[in-house]
Chains A and B, each alone.
Chain A
Amino acid sequence: MENNHLLLGALVTPLIGAIVALVFARSNRAQRSIGVLAGLIAWVFSTALLVQVHSSGIQTYALGNWRPPYGIVLVADTFGALFAFMVTSIMIGGLVYTFHSRDKCMTYPAFMPLFLLMEVGLIGAMLTGDLFTLFVFMELMVLASVSLTAISDDQYGLEAALKYILISSMGTLFLLLGIAAMYATFGTLNMAEIAQTLLTGERPFLAPASAIMLLCAFLLKSAVFPFHFWQPDFHTTAPTPISAMLSSIVVKVGVYGIIRLVTLLFIEEAPLLERWLSTLGIIGIVFGSLGALRTYNAKRMLAYSTFAQIGFILVGIGWGERLALIGAIVYAFNHAFIKSSLLMLVGVVSSYTTTKTANFADISGIGRKLPSAVGWLVLIGGLSLAGMPPLNGFISKLALIQGGVDRGDWQNLIIMVAAGILTVIYMIRAWQRIFQQNPLPDTAGAKNEGDSLFAPFLLVCVCLLLGTVLAEPLIQLIIETVRQLGDPRVYISAVNLPM
């Protein structure tokens, strides 16, 4: 087994970036450049990794050359590499956004290092083959995002951070309980080795309970009903680029974990878990969509929308069929691009207000004073979110519906699709309120300049590409991913455990 340095590079570059950015704490410009550079290099690594994984199978990296399962091993199967690629791609958007943002918090010396550490946590969580390291990566991500939200320009960021850290600790506890029980049961932390033991049909009795513990932890990270309460607050009050990352990729860590759980580790318990996933997903869809309809703030609306969209993904996973899983992964992937671009766009809109708020009361009609491109991009993003062709949201919807039809779960399928119309309602209404309505009397002062549109523009372009020419390659890749996920033996043998 060869150590794959691309795999290491994707993970380590942002770490180095964070440290270097810390060293250059005096210069904000230097920090931002370092951040973007590190993001770009990590993206190149992860892209190359994805290509390599695609062409020559699962890649691994035994950290410190300590062979698995004794040391920590990084594993990039197509699934992990794809999600890491998604993370690095979106992160570039976030990092670029900071470059021309007028938020105070982005001038804090700790901002960029924390941002990059969050990326380390995200990428690491998706590439590690070790259960405990997964926990550490997730904690890194959580603490970085909590810190970033707490120092947000939004004065309620702290309240949100407080609530999240309290609620998130529950997830950490579940995770630790699960991991401890797994270690006691299997005597190892290596996921491949655990999977190998489980594949032999041996079912230690703590396994289902551990599965539920781990599942709860992942559900909490993804803000699934009833673990969602922190999410609208947290995603709304974070600094714009952070909130874009939170609502697009950070919630996907939970999705990633859940998929790993049901495809690699707890295949036998999967039906039980999937039943829960479907139910929670449907509730999430209804709750999130309805909440988005009536909430008072555009960012918050998008946060509720994320709540609903995660529901779609969960129902897809919950259907437990190959096609449905393809749909779920396509959905998860595309949603990241749509949601991050939309949140950044709303961030741009609110950056033009004097109080930097996205409350509808303050941004209604403000669109008339903004560059017209903002309106266009928000409309395109919104339509993509609503699943309109030829944007990538449509691809997600189609893939998921095909999965649902394949499964024949008409009841959930129809609820899902009926809830889909709510997306149209809230997105279009919001668009009309911001860009068409007459300004309210209190929407008096719009500033002459705001954050740069460049990053969201890039992401919207990607949405467009993913909906058209890149759609087929993506789906092919995801089909391959799901094929690989379907046979845990591939993963296990790639990790090359001693016999």
Chain B
Amino acid sequence: MELATITAVPFGLALFLASPLARNSLSKPLQTRLSSLVMTALFAWLLSAYPHLARTGAIAQSFDWMPSLGISLSFYLDGLSLLFALIITGIGALIFFYAGYYFDEADEHNRFMIWLSAFAGAMLAVVLSGNVLLMFVAWELTSVTSFALIGFKGATDAEAREGAFKALFVTGAGALALIIGLVMLSVAAGQILYPEEGIRFVADIDLILQAKSLHEHEWFVLFAILIMLGGFTKSAQFPFHFWLPGAMSAPTPASAYLHSATMVKAGIYLFARLSPVMYQNELWTSSLQTIGLVTMLVGSYFAVKQTDLKGLLAYSTVGKLGAITALIGLPDQSGLKAAFVAIIAHAFYKSALFLVAGTIDHATGTRAIEGLGGLRDKLPVMFWVTVISALSMAGLPFLLGFVAKETLLDAMLHYTAPWTQLAMLMVVLSSMFTAMAAFMLIYDVFLKPPRGRRHFHELSPWIGLGPALLALGSLSLGFLVQPLIVPLLEVATPKPFELHLFAGFNEVFLLSLAILFGGLLLFFIRKKLIQLITFPISGDAIYREFITYLEWAGTTVLHTQSGFVRYYLVIILGAVAAVLIASGTLSTLTAGQQLFPSDLSVTITDLAKIFMLFLTVAAGMLTVVVREHVKAAIAYGVIGYAIGVIFLIEHAPDVALVQLLVETMATVLIIIMLGRIRAGVRLRVINSLWTERRNYNLGFLRDLGISVLIGVAVFVFSLIALQNRPLRHSIAEWHLENAATVNTDDVVGAIVADFRGTDTLLEIGVFTTAALGLLTLLARGRQPGSSLAPLVAPVASSSEFDARVVEEIQDATSLSTPFTRSVSFVVLPIAILIGIAQVLYGGNGPGDGFTAGVTIGLAVSLWYVVLGYQEAKALLPWFRPELIIRLGLLIATVNAIFPVFVGQGFMGHIEFDQALGIYDLVGSFGLHVTSSLIFEIAIAITVMGGLGIIIEAIAYPTDRTQETIRSTDPA
């Protein structure tokens, strides 16, 4: 008995049907018969386990899957699972067969068969899995596959989409509750079974069932509720029942399978499965009872209100499921027997009725009860199937449904609780409604005189086989209950069993008859009755409200995404300031620390520093108060220079040099960028932000507040950092001591080029990144100026190259004078020489590859500024930044990798002059040819190229006519 194989077979079938082999070469009837046969074989196979089970009670098989998460491929077959598995495969075989004649199109048929097989597999996996987490996996698979089945016609039918979505939403939500519940359950079981051994999860069902004190666990209430939520949603219990009617947009065979025999029973299975360890707790039983009874009454009442044939069946299913749930919830598992009988009976009559409904729908094109009637002659088989099944549903004596109803009434009568009377009343009322629904099915659909001529679609005679067999079951099994069903149920339930077709004219029998007559009575006054009671609220309305509310919440959330980057920054910075204050970090920091200096003496250099700081802050303030951008740029330049001098005073000449050069470069960049932005655009902003806004508004104060907060936070932070440096030593001491080993006087240079060379390598990578990004951005839509510029026109829709906004570019030469021109001619060679000197002698003083690159870049930018793009380009044929940057990066990379092959490690230090024996020779020039020198050269080249790219991209003259052509051409 390979349970895994049994579970896998339907999935295999689905895969086979999905394979091109089956799709192309297997005809529709063949597919049908094959599937049906497979299900029958599985049925037989499962049935063959029965004798074994009768002897041993259960079969458990297990394979490892994810032991660390507690999921194993465990399978468990006992009477309960067997019962469900038989229903799944047995009814499945008939429905597969029926489906073969339901679809006209081969493609649709194939697709349906695939999903139905997969669904059958998932369902089998639910009832056969021996691990609650594996069961959950299967449970979710039923949700997914049923989603596909309900939404089968989704491509054309909006209702099908909506129904499928609703089903997935409700059962999915329940499943999320369920998974938490199951995880908690398995943790709890682990704690109970192996309190000492540190086993986290016991998710295998056979073990969980041994955890008899589960109901006393501290988490019980929580996980019981969560598990019940999962079950209630799946089994469409009140108030989650509303998804089931919506799911009726599935093709009828699917509805018949899902909603009579299988999916909705998964919840029932779950309750029954866990019942042995849960039933001792009051919460569990009373919840099941209450919800079950309410669902029963509501479902059966709504059923008779339906105008849609499948809707009627759906709600009556809801009602029946409620009854079964209530039965499982009866104290001491006393209702299990009745529940199982009900499950079997319901499976037979309800799937038959669904199939009848599908046939009618297929034949007449409608399912509206109003429009049907007089079908008795046209569909004789269906008529008799309906009569038998509906009467079984109504509980007519000697049919299978009667046995079920009898056992139910019996169980309810023996149930003693404070509110027994009320429960009994609910049972009787709902049974009357069910009987009424049954009469409606027979009369309104088949006997009532037809209204008008209808289209009628001829059907294959084989389509009646499935329904007929099911009706036969309802008819005969009542009589065969003793030999056939009782043994099966005896295996399934923990209680001794007794089941009678007719137990004599006892109170149960009389009650059954009364119900039948009551139902008949109600049937006659149905028109009035239906208008009598209406529910003010329905689950569906709540669901809709809920979705609307969610959507409202979503929209509200999206409003925070306002599109204003300033607000984003305000929120972010405000939050950080709030966190710093709220978390008390600042106050704890300041507590007990020396904040203010005790020593107030200053040296002359300190005074110089103070002046520089003052200059920095003053220029910073100036950038705030000036309106014009160029003034801000000038002020910003002052900040940069002042900080550079501060670096110098702080004995950081290397940094100071870089700072001075970079600030100059940055200022130049700002200026040429400003020159690229139309004056009109800038003036408009200045005007709208300053001139038209005299009064300082709230936003200004808010910004000011946040700036002050951040400023104060940083002030405190840096003050503490400065005042209380705890360790006056660092790894830099090692660098100071060892810089000599790399033949460098400048320790900073040694760190940059050797000790932390990779940082520098990456840093030029960052720089290259910026250059490439800027080049691509600025060069889009131009004639390619370099091999790194895009060769294609930009996206047609972007308007940046519209003639309207392209600035007018003039010949630059009119802007310069012979004096500036001559000086710029002189400065470039000097700058290059300085650059070379900085690279070669950078090891002994400030300056390194980076400064060299910036130096040359600055001089080149001077050429572009003074001479204009065309002339500068013409005069510098060798200056091809896109080649230079590549050369630099290549050298840097090779230089970085080469040491790996001589055992020095990536970015390792190599003394090439030593190795080549030219140490003294180059030494006479005051040089050392080392890998760091080559690296510096590479940096210089890369940075020069990168700056060249940036400057060239910005300086490129935009040609108006070309742009116009390009922007109208939708290429």
Contacts and interface: CB of A to CB of B under 8 A. Distances in A.
A contacts B: CB pair < 8 Å: yes
A137 interface: yes
Interface in B896-946: 897, 899-900, 904-909
Which of B140, B735, B775 gathers most chain A CB within 10 Å? Answer: B140
A256 interface: no
Contact of B550 (A144, A293, A388): A293
Which of A23, A66, A390, A414 gathers most chain B CB within 10 Å? Answer: A66
Contacts of B571: 226, 229
B717 A12 contact: no
Nearest to A160: B565
Which of A63, A140, A417 gathers most chain B CB within 10 Å? Answer: A63
Contacts of B589: 205-206, 208-209
B631 to A, nearest CB: 22
Given A12-B906, A406-B187, A212 B579 contact: yes
B578 to A, nearest CB: 10
B161 A437 contact: yes
Interface in B150-167: 151, 154-155, 158, 161, 164-165
B521 interface: no
Contacts of A114: 769, 772-773
A104 B773 contact: no
A150 B773 contact: yes
B554 A291 contact: yes
Interface residues of B, number: 124
A370 interface: no
Interface string A168-199: 00100010010011011111111001000000
B777 A158 contact: yes
Interface string A109-146: 11101100100100010000000110011011001101
Contacts of A405: 180, 183-184, 187
A90 interface: no
A291 B68 CA distance: 34
A70 B726 contact: no
A399 interface: yes
Nearest to B896: A12
Given A109-B789, A389-B140, A162 B900 contact: no
Contact of A436 (B161, B551, B554, B730): B161
A110 B772 contact: yes
Interface in A366-406: 368, 383, 386, 388-390, 394-395, 397-399, 401-402, 404-406
A232 interface: yes
Nearest to A132: B759
B797 A410 contact: no
A153 B776 CA distance: 12
Contact of A421 (B176, B583, B727, B756): B176
A64 interface: yes
B882 interface: yes
Contacts of B755: 64, 66, 70-71
A390 B586 CA distance: 49
Interface stretch (B379-387, B411-419, B760-768): B760-768
A368 B904 contact: no
Contacts, number: 338
A483 interface: no
A451 B146 CA distance: 32
Interface stretch (B46-54, B835-843, B885-893): B885-893
Contact of B557 (A70, A187, A287, A395): A287
Contacts of B795: 104, 153-155
B64 to A, nearest CB: 8
B639 to A, nearest CB: 16
B904 A64 contact: yes
A432 interface: yes
Contacts of B177: 417
B69 A15 contact: no
B534 interface: no
Interface string B554-589: 111110110001001101110110011001011011
A151 interface: yes
A109 B155 contact: no
A465 interface: no
Contacts of A204: 726
A225 B635 CA distance: 36
Contacts of A146: 773
Contact of B731 (A180, A189, A429): A189
Given A389-B136, A389-B140, A413-B180, A162 B906 contact: no
Given A19-B893, A133-B762, A290-B557, A65 B905 contact: yes
B68 A475 contact: yes
Interface in A14-54: 15-16, 18-19, 22-23, 25-26
Nearest to B907: A64
B890 A140 contact: no
Which of B137, B769, B899 gathers most chain A CB within 10 Å? Answer: B769
B168 interface: yes
Contacts of B556: 290
Contacts of A162: 565
Interface in B529-563: 547, 550-551, 553-558, 560-561
A28 to B, nearest CB: 8
A290 B553 contact: yes
Interface in A149-165: 150-151, 153-155, 158, 162-163
Contacts of A69: 731
A323 to B, nearest CB: 8
A113 to B, nearest CB: 6
A124 B558 contact: no
Contacts of B179: 397-398, 401, 417
Contacts of A418: 173, 176
B714 interface: yes
A209 B172 contact: no
Given A151-B773, A226-B575, A425 B169 contact: yes
Given A70-B734, A383-B144, A187 B588 contact: no
A166 interface: yes
Contact of B561 (A12, A104, A136, A232): A232
Given A151-B776, A216-B576, A401-B179, A70 B770 contact: no
A417 B176 contact: yes
B721 A180 contact: yes
Which of B720, B758, B768, B889 gathers most chain A CB within 10 Å? Answer: B758
Contacts of A390: 137, 141
B789 A133 contact: no
B731 A70 contact: yes
Given A64-B908, A180-B721, A107 B550 contact: no
Interface of A: 3, 5, 8, 12, 15-16, 18-19, 22-23, 25-26, 61-66, 69-72, 104, 107-111, 113-114, 117, 120, 124, 132-133, 136-137, 139-140, 143-144, 146-148, 150-151, 153-155, 158, 162-163, 166-167, 170, 174, 177, 180-181, 183-190, 193, 204-206, 208-209, 212, 216, 220, 226-227, 229-230, 232, 272, 276, 286-287, 290-295, 323, 355, 368, 383, 386, 388-390, 394-395, 397-399, 401-402, 404-406, 410, 413-414, 417-418, 420-422, 424-425, 428-429, 432, 436-437, 471-472, 475-476, 479
Interface of B: 64-71, 133, 136-137, 140-141, 143-144, 147, 151, 154-155, 158, 161, 164-165, 168-169, 172-173, 176-177, 179-180, 183-184, 187, 200-201, 222, 547, 550-551, 553-558, 560-561, 565, 568-569, 571-573, 575-576, 579-580, 583, 585-586, 588-589, 593, 714, 717, 720-721, 724-727, 729-732, 734-735, 738, 754-759, 762-763, 765-766, 768-770, 772-777, 780, 787-792, 794-795, 797-798, 882, 885-886, 889-890, 893, 897, 899-900, 904-909
Given A167-B568, A437-B161, 6 more contacts: A22-B885, A104-B794, A140-B765, A147-B776, A355-B797, A428-B147
12 contacts: A61-B905, A109-B791, A114-B772, A143-B769, A183-B730, A184-B721, A184-B725, A212-B579, A389-B137, A414-B180, A418-B176, A425-B550
